[in-house]
Amino acid sequence: MNWSEISEVVLRALPHKPAPLTGNEIRFIRQQLDLTLKAFASFCEVSSHQAVMQWESRGDEPAKMNRATEIVLRARIVARVSPRVTISRVFEEVSRFGGGGGRDVLLSIFASVADGWGYAYR
């Protein structure tokens, strides 16, 4: 099992999660992008790394990010992992998430002989 491939699939899946991101998911994203707290704050267009620390401290609970900030984060992830996607398509895809508990949504990762790794939310 190749953990870097699985991590890449999870990073591609998180912007499409139908619920708010959790603190642990925020930390995972930041670490996968290899960004410091300060650089990640800038990536999310927030003024302070303390906001990032607060989001990450929520653990398995929703990070309680401002909705606009979370949309920007999701869009930037999609743009980074899928650079050929248009910006209008990116915002259309990532702004669909609703409220509710972020930890209540299950991500299933699967391997396909034809397509490689894939994912689905339940």
Q: Spell out the residues 6+ positions from residue 89 whose beta carbon is closer than 8 angstroms to its own.
A: none
Interatomic CA distance for residues 24 and 13, integer angstroms: 15
Measure the CA dihedral 117/39/90/13, to 10°: 20
Report pLDDT for 85: 75
Report pLDDT for 105: 56
Q: Phi and psi (nearest 5°) for 7? A: -60, -40
Q: Where are the domains of the chain?
A: 3-121
Per-residue pLDDT of the chain (122 residues; tens, 9 = 90+): 678 888 988 898 898 888 899 999 999 999 999 999 999 999 999 999 999 999 999 999 999 999 889 988 998 998 888 878 777 777 777 766 765 555 555 556 566 655 565 656 55
Across 29-115, the runs of DSSP E, i.e. the strands, are: 107-112
pTM for this one?
0.79
